[in-house]
Structure 1
Amino acid sequence: MTDLDHLIDHDLIDAVIFDCDGTLVDTMRAHFAAWNHALAVNGAEFSIDWETFRQWGGIAATQVVRMLNDQHGVMLDAEYVRVAKQSHLEHALVNTEEIEVIATFARKLFGNTPIAVASGGHPANVSASLTAAGLRPLFPDELIITPFDVEHGKPAPDMFLLAAERLGIAPERCLVVEDGPPGIEGAKAAGMHWLFLDEHGTPVEMSAGLHA
């Protein structure tokens, strides 16, 4: 297991902002299944492939539906699809497990370095996932940022900038830990350091100068 404490130059950062799904908690397969279930019950004649799903990770559900409508030339109701996905997902999230390397890092930081969550997920799902994985006590309500808190979700920087504001830390002193390209794009736009993970929580790339 990679020890992120020794991988990162802590002199550069005063706070860490974590994505949730696929970063702190192992929920991406559950979300993937829920997406394709929701599309099917809403009459879609297509599904999302795993690679596309990973590339779009972190984007709010209603925005994903709009992207799918544009891509496939259809007019699925974004709210109907979101509700169907939510209903299917609720039953799966009770079995959520942490991604050990990232969860361990978050626990080490807790009480010493300010931490927050910036997730493209629905607030109820984020809270349920963190609770099931035993991580909810690390993040008070005001430090769990979702698209419901901002005008623009990922890949815009809004959620990260709001998290930094609530943490009381300058954006350039924040580190974003993410498994989704839209989140990394948002972190860059916010002027923050970033650490990009693969689907197993293994660091694969980081912003210039971050390596210890």
Structure 2
Amino acid sequence: MDPSGSTRRAVGILVRMSTLGTTAVIFDLDGTLVDSEPNYFEAGRRTLAEQGVTDFTWADHEQYVGISTQETLALWKERYGLTAPLDTLLADKNRRYLELARASTQVYPEMRKFVELLAAEDVPMAVASGSSPEAIEAILAGTGLAPYMPTVVSADEVAHGKPAPDVFLEAARRLGAAPADCVVLEDAAPGVAAAHAAGMRCIAVPYVAAQADDPAFATAGLLLRGGQSEFTARGAYEWLAPRTAG
């Protein structure tokens, strides 16, 4: 056995235990880790246009931020009177979205820094998203985040999407973490509500600033009303560390 290696491992464990302890961090993907909403809007706009709905706007899109694609399409069928089967609409929108996502998806710089900070401490991380497994995989691979996020849960894999807690509870289960030890990063009210329902702490970074007064956001342990413009990797880390020590 290499004594120096053992020492380094022991020191690493001590460093981790002195900062974030048993904390695990679960990230929402769209609008939280990456700015994918423009791609979702465009995919949705094109899908609706093919069904004869030509007046879908960004303001319309904002109403569905944080809701799974399948649930969004079910709502669209009712709102716009779409006659195409849900499975057809889902396949169409996912295909269009994947084409856009593979071409261009940007990681928020401070979120990438935060992921790297957590990785340096060996903090377990996961992604829990309303996107399809294929979309999550494509984005994580394309942005270079995949090595940091081996644990991924899609709303397609659980019984209920956000605001139900299912995706977060499943992520915690796969990480081997207690819900009380998990911290969720979210940009939308349904996701913040889901984190609260799961018994997890939450850092809320609203994608739509005007929605920051939604009652769900009041349940977050840390609410950054200015969204990504207020989020910093160091600030989020320092918010976590004292609470772990406490």
Distance 1:152 1:200 in 2: 23
Distance 1:115 1:11 in 2: 13
Give 1:53's aligned amino acid. H
Indicate yes or no: 2:80 matched with 1:67: no
> Would the alpha carbon gap of residues 58 and 209 (structure 1) be closer, same or farther in structure 2, given more than 3 Å must change?
closer
Give 1:71's aligned amino acid. R
Match of 2:113 in 1: 104
> Would the alpha carbon gap of residues 57 and 13 (structure 1) be closer, same or farther in structure 2, given more than 3 Å must change?
farther
Match of 1:152 in 2: 160
2:27–2:184 contact (8 Å) kept in structure 1? yes
Structure 2 residue ranges without an equivalent (≥5): 1-18, 224-238
Distance 2:53 2:88 in 1: 12
Match of 2:35 in 1: 26
Secondary structure of the corresponding residue to residue 144 of structure 1: strand
Distance 1:52 1:176 in 2: 26
1:168-187 pair list within 5 angstroms: 168-187=176-195
Give 1:181's aligned amino acid. A
User: Paired residue for 1:129, among 131, 135, 139?
Assistant: 139
Match of 1:207 in 2: 220
> Would the alpha carbon gap of residues 25 and 72 (structure 1) be closer, same or farther in structure 2, given more than 3 Å must change?
same
Match of 1:91 in 2: 99
Structure 1 residue ranges without an equivalent (≥5): 1-9
> Would the alpha carbon gap of residues 176 and 61 (structure 1) be closer, same or farther in structure 2, given more than 3 Å must change?
same
Secondary structure of the corresponding residue to residue 113 of structure 1: coil
Match of 2:205 in 1: 197
> Would the alpha carbon gap of residues 12 and 179 (structure 1) be closer, same or farther in structure 2, given more than 3 Å must change?
farther
Give 1:88's aligned amino acid. R
Following TM superposition, by how much is the alpha carbon of 1:159 offset from its aligned partner in structure 2, in angstroms?
0.4
Distance 1:93 1:72 in 2: 26
| TM-score of the aligned structures, taking structure 2 as reference length | 0.72
> Would the alpha carbon gap of residues 54 and 15 (structure 1) be closer, same or farther in structure 2, given more than 3 Å must change?
farther
Following TM superposition, by how much is the alpha carbon of 1:70 offset from its aligned partner in structure 2, in angstroms?
3.0
> Would the alpha carbon gap of residues 55 and 195 (structure 1) be closer, same or farther in structure 2, given more than 3 Å must change?
farther
Following TM superposition, by how much is the alpha carbon of 1:90 offset from its aligned partner in structure 2, in angstroms?
2.1
Following TM superposition, by how much is the alpha carbon of 1:87 offset from its aligned partner in structure 2, in angstroms?
2.0
2:192–2:202 contact (8 Å) kept in structure 1? yes
Indicate yes or no: 2:129 matched with 1:119: yes
Structure of larger gyration radius? 2
RMSD: 2.6
Instruction: Pick 1 or 2: higher relative contact order, CA cutoff 8 A, min separation 6.
Output: 1
1:117-144 deviation per Cα after TM superposition (whole angstroms, max 9, x unaligned):
001001111111111111111111xx10
1:118–1:146 contact (8 Å) kept in structure 2? yes
Secondary structure of the corresponding residue to residue 112 of structure 2: helix
Distance 1:55 1:196 in 2: 18
Distance 2:156 2:43 in 1: 20
Following TM superposition, by how much is the alpha carbon of 1:57 offset from its aligned partner in structure 2, in angstroms?
2.2
The number of equivalent residue pairs is: 198
1:16–1:175 contact (8 Å) kept in structure 2? yes
Secondary structure of the corresponding residue to residue 128 of structure 1: helix
| TM-score of the aligned structures, taking structure 1 as reference length | 0.82
Secondary structure of the corresponding residue to residue 67 of structure 2: coil
Distance 2:69 2:143 in 1: 22
